Structure 1
Amino acid sequence: MSTTEIPQGGLPSMPGLRSFGTGHVLRDFDLKVIVQISGCERGARRLLRGEPLSAADVGPLTMANHAAHHMGYLPLFELGGKVPSIAPGVEAVLREQLEKPGRGQQI
């Protein structure tokens, strides 16, 4: 099996996933990449403001979690319950990333 193939039934297992709550050299860059490729900025901003999400917001959040997993991180968002939320330890880092100059509207 090549490194790009996903085993039948789900995501490949990746031991030692890192948390975005733990600072390291590439964390901010990796988070920026995940937000950009998933298109989850709108949904993440709505979660940070405590607003309800639309159905269109959930797909990008799912994609962000998928991208985070493949980059060696724990999920950014808790999507298993009735109401999606930001994963523990991620809110401050996500808020900081989305409030950087040049990122459009402030949260």
Structure 2
Amino acid sequence: MEKKNISCKIIEDLLPSYMDEILSEGVNEAVQIHLDSCESCRKKLSELQHQLDEGKAQTEKNEAAFIKGIKRYKHYVIGMVIGAGIPIMALLLFILWVMVISMNS
């Protein structure tokens, strides 16, 4: 690839793809050469990386909160099943006991 001076605007458009490592080898090399000589574009790359890191951290927090909510809901459902099951079992045992008593009488 011929080494040409690429404008900062074009490099800024390529930075997300550069970060994702999806550029062709030649374009990747041209971006790297530009970054080596351009403080402004290096700063822009650093800002993008910082934003990406913050986004990942926020995503992890959201996932943790979601999992915590699922666990809380699971415990709620288990409590409801047990809470409803005990009176139903008591009622069935009472009915069975009444039937046994009436058969023996």
Hey, which of these two has a bigger chunk of helix by percent?
A: 2
**Which protein is bigger by CA-based radius of gyration?**
2
Assess same fold via TM > 0.5.
no
Query: Quick one: higher RCO (CA 8 Å, sep 6+), 1 or 2?
Result: 1
TM-score (norm 1): 0.29
TM-score (normalised: structure 2): 0.29
